[in-house]
Amino acid sequence: MTGGKRSRAWLVAFGALIFAVFLHVLAYHLVGSFAPSGVDPGKTTLILVTGCVLLSSSLTLSQAMEMVTRAFYARSDLDLLLASPVSPRLIFAVRIGTIALSTGALAALLAAPFINALAYAGGPRWLSAYGVVAAMAVAATALAIALTIGLFQILGPRRTRLVAQIIAAVVGAIFVIGVQALAILSANTLSRFAGLQSELFQAIAPGLESLFWWPARAIMGDLPALVAVLAASVILLAAVTAALSHRFAAHATAAAGVSAATVFERPKASAFQPATAAQLLRRKEWTLLRRDPWLISQTLMQVLYLLPPALLLWRNFGDDGEAPVVLVPVIVMAAGQLAGGLAWLAVSGEDAPDLVATAPMPTRRILRAKVEAVIGGIALVMSPLIVALAFASPAAALLSAIGILIAAASATLIQLWFRTQAKRTQFRRRQTSSRVATFAEAFSSISWAAAAGLAATGAWSAAVPVGVALTILAGARAIRPR
């Protein structure tokens, strides 16, 4: 973010401080009124806190599975470590511990504003939530290791890479999707809390004396429950490490020999079909996306989050309710985020830049063909939702289509302004190349989604997020690398 210039360090630090303060203020407004709840709460409070724990746990487990899979398939210093006079069991036990620490640090960073806001409003007992975050990270690492090694035993190293990545994406989204589906079926809304507060959920929830509520009680300051949750997670990780660390070396060695570019199908011989250079470029981008299992699994979560809106649309099909209006910002936001990832792949993740540069066409036309490939991919994913939405509300469908096009174009422009030469295998770490582009892309998508949602309600205030989005784009263009 500093670009190697010390003069920018203070500016970056000040921006980070302002952002942290903003997150804490936002968290206080969201959960501050909840803080006075006692250590012996009612069933409704325990359900809400447990729902937040399960949501965080699913995301933590997804992150842990991804890190464990990378640990298997990244060669890095594996040969050197296995040749050293150190027990492979000890080497991989340390690596497992490192994964648990990394997972816990990320989870704590995301939860810190809410925990600190609760502690400020309700007392220091809420700080015990950090212990529950650590316990979730440790337990998630243990489960991720056991599941990944089980996949190795059943599927082998070549198939495990794809299946583990897909499972990680599904696990990260499954609880959010499940709670939203419950909210749609019970309260006809996308609100997760409405689903947790439904009568159906209240009826099937266990009694107050159940061990199921111990993590929630630990978050709310119950020290015996906190000690029990921490002890159980540590024992689970220790047992998994002792039982499976000896297999880590064999599986990692087998995985290191698997090519990083697994192809679903071999190209079929066919008659030569004349095509323009632009058509060939678009076809190349679509073919690479279709063949690469890593990229498919890493973009799968964004597609999975479209399932609850699709369920809401199906449930309200033919009604004149508010569902179409609710769907508009969700669809636009998902399209902007998905377009940003695909644009990075097409522009910065070009694995044959020299070959493409020698094509008999100007650079502007090359970039135009790549942008067309990105927009075409977004259209392929979003068209079914737009068509279904058109039957329920033509106006909402039109606003969604316009919002999708603008959000996707904005994300693509940001990737063009901040393009860097990288490999497609670095897709997971694309945000580290330019955090400015990452934040600009995220806030741009949020602003266009807000504008589309307000426009769907007929509110003139939609002009405000439009102005914010245009300001973000102007700022990104002004500070882009020359």
Distance CA 100, CA 196 (A): 29
Phi, psi of 424 (to 5 degrees): -60, -25
Q: By three-state DSSP, how is residue 268 classified?
A: coil
Write down the H helix ranges in 292-352: 293-304, 307-315, 323-347
Give pLDDT < 50 ranges for the chain: 39, 259-265, 318
3-class secondary structure per residue, 51-103: HHHHHHHHHHHHHHHHHHHHHHHCCCCHHHHHHCCCCHHHHHHHHHHHHHHHH
271 conformational bin, left if phi > 0, alpha if psi -120 to 50, beta if neither: beta
Model confidence over 260-303: pLDDT tens digits? 444 444 555 555 566 777 777 777 777 776 666 556 666 666 66
Phi, psi of 208 (to 5 degrees): -65, -25
The predicted model scores a pTM of 0.65
State the distance between the two ends of the chain, measured CA to CA, in whole angstroms.
15
The confidence score (pLDDT) of residue 231 equals 93
Handedness of CA 306, 309, 313, 315 (dihedral sign): positive
The separation between CA 34 and the C-alpha centre of its own chain, rounded to angstroms, equals: 27
Cβ 282 vs Cβ 372: under 8 Å = yes
Burial-class residue 131 by CB neighbours within 10 Å (0-12, 13-18, 19+). Answer: middle
The confidence score (pLDDT) of residue 247 equals 74
190 half-sphere exposure, CB direction, 13 A CA radius: 20
Distance CA 407, CA 402 (A): 9
The confidence score (pLDDT) of residue 264 equals 44
Phi, psi of 320 (to 5 degrees): -105, 35
Distance CA 94, CA 84 (A): 15
Q: By three-state DSSP, how is residue 156 classified?
A: coil
The confidence score (pLDDT) of residue 79 equals 67
Distance CA 60, CA 359 (A): 45
Overall residue count recorded for the chain in this entry: 482
Distance CA 473, CA 482 (A): 16
Distance CA 288, CA 468 (A): 35
Return the percent helix, strand and coil in the chain, to nearest 5.
Answer: 80, 0, 20
Q: Which whole-number Å values give the CA distances from 113 to 8, 64, 318, in the listed order? A: 26, 22, 42
Residue reference for tokens 């090359």: 366
The separation between CA 257 and the C-alpha centre of its own chain, rounded to angstroms, equals: 28
Distance CA 191, CA 88 (A): 48
Six-digit token string for 15? 């921006």
